[in-house]
């Protein structure tokens, strides 16, 4: 028996009050050429019963679990705890997996040194101004070349040498992400202070990839694992998401800098300084007509990046308060 046959796969979708998008994502999972061993839907702080009723009515083979504490990484950790697979692959509820997605994400884990795998994410549509704005800003795709970290971190990134942490945020996203369950649990799961929504809208995926690398495991970007993501259609909503992601990225870098030591700390500091300066560089390019984003959005991005310097401690307090309030409500619920 090969190691590959031992690697069971759970696909988890974390969702909140979006039954139509979820139905589409689940349909793509049921059409996989190599179906996952388990499909798990974690509903985060639901406000109604539509998702649960959809699964009970149409998808009896799908496991449904609630996670009442609001925040994507609370839901991700719920999935990690509940999953039965050796590998847990996360797909966004507004994404569609190509038929070979699950098999391509699972395959690299045949190597026991691999701790996480990210997939290629293309736009599902570019019909609206918001969707086109996201793609103009770079979108979610990371190209067609397979990358393995840290083994290939000495290669040029965007034409220049870069520290390992820059690679960690450049090889994919949580929209299409698979992790070795035992390793993620060992390093504490996803950071619940990240991906909190308005408070800090992102960062949990990059943080998990970085901590996998810090643990000495490999991260693989596998372009054969293709999914298609439905970007925000509204222009203003897409702009807010772009700015929010930049703020969350800086917050993640600040957290990582505080935890780091030695030469690695210098690499993180260098990358953090670049991310703080990058919006100003883009503003200068925009003044010369060489950046696709409007000046007003780049100004908001600049402010958002600097706000990220102080965002992580506040987000940590918010996450702890949410978890505490939930624990209190459970302990005071009449039996």
pLDDT recorded at residue 329: 53
pLDDT recorded at residue 328: 62
pLDDT at 332 over 60: no
Residue 4 — very low, low, confident or very high, per pLDDT cuts 50/70/90? very low
Give the 3-state DSSP-derived string for the chain, with helices as H, strands as E and coil as C: CCHHHHCCEEEEEEECCCHHHHHHHHHHHHCCCCCCCEEEEEEECCCCCHHHHHHHHHCCCCEEEEECCCCHHHHHHHHHHHCCCCEEEEECCCEEECCCHHHHHHHHHHCCCEEEEEEEEEECCCCCHHHHHHHHCCCCCCCCCCEEECCCCCCCECCECCCHHHHHCCCCCCCEEEEEHHHHHHCCCCCCCCCCCCCCCCCHHHHHHHHHHHCCCEEEEEEEEEEEECCCCCHHHHHHHHHHHHHHHHHHHHHHHHHCCHHHHHHHHHHHHHHHHHHHHHHHHHHCCCCCCCHHHHHHHHHHHHHHHHHHHHHHHHHHHHHHHHHHHHHCCCC
pLDDT at 2 over 90: no
Residue 161 — very low, low, confident or very high, per pLDDT cuts 50/70/90? confident
Q: What is the mean pLDDT of residues 43-55?
A: 95
* Residue spans per domain, the chain: 3-236
C-alpha–C-alpha distance, residues 184 and 225, integer Å:
21
Q: What is the mean pLDDT of residues 50-73?
A: 95
Q: Choose between 5 and 10: higher pLDDT.
A: 10
pLDDT recorded at residue 6: 65
Specify the pTM: 0.94
pLDDT at 301 over 80: yes
Q: CATH number of the domain at 3-236, out of 2.70.98.10, 3.40.50.1000, 2.40.160.20, 3.90.550.10? A: 3.90.550.10
């Amino acid at each position: 028996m090969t190691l590959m046959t031992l690697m069971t796969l759970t696909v988890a979708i974390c969702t909140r009050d979006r039954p139509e998008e979820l139905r589409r994502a689940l349909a793509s999972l049921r059409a996989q050429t190599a179906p996952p061993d388990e499909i798990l839907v974690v509903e985060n702080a639901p406000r109604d019963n539509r998702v649960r009723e959809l699964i009970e009515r149409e998808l009896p083979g799908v496991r449904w679990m609630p996670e009442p504490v609001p925040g994507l990484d609370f839901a991700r950790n719920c999935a990690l705890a509940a999953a039965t697979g050796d590998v847990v692959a996360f797909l966004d509820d507004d994404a569609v997996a190509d038929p070979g997605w699950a098999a391509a994400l699972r395959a690299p884990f045949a190597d026991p040194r691999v701790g996480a795998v990210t997939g290629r994410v293309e736009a599902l549509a570019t019909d609206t101004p918001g969707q086109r704005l996201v793609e103009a800003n770079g979108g979610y795709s990371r190209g067609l070349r397979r990358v393995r970290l840290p083994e290939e971190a000495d290669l040029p990134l965007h034409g220049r040498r870069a520290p390992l942490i820059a690679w960690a945020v450049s090889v994919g996203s949580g929209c299409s992400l698979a992790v070795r369950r035992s390793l993620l649990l060992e390093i504490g799961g996803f950071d619940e202070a990240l991906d909190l929504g308005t408070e800090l809208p992102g960062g949990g995926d990059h943080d998990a990839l970085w901590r996998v690398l810090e643990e000495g495991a490999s991260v693989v970007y596998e372009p054969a694992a293709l999914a298609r993501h439905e970007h925000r259609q509204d222009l203003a909503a897409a702009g807010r998401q772009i700015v929010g992601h930049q703020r969350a990225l800086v917050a993640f870098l600040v957290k990582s800098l505080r935890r780091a030591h030695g030469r690695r700390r210098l690499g993180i500091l260098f990358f953090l300084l670049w991310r703080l300066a990058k919006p100003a560089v883009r503003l200068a390019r925009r003044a010369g007509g060489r950046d696709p984003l409007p000046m007003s959005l780049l100004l908001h991005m600049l402010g958002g990046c600097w706000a990220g310097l102080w965002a992580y401690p506040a987000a940590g307090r918010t996450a702890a308060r949410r978890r505490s309030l939930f624990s209190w409500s459970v302990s005071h619920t009449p039996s």
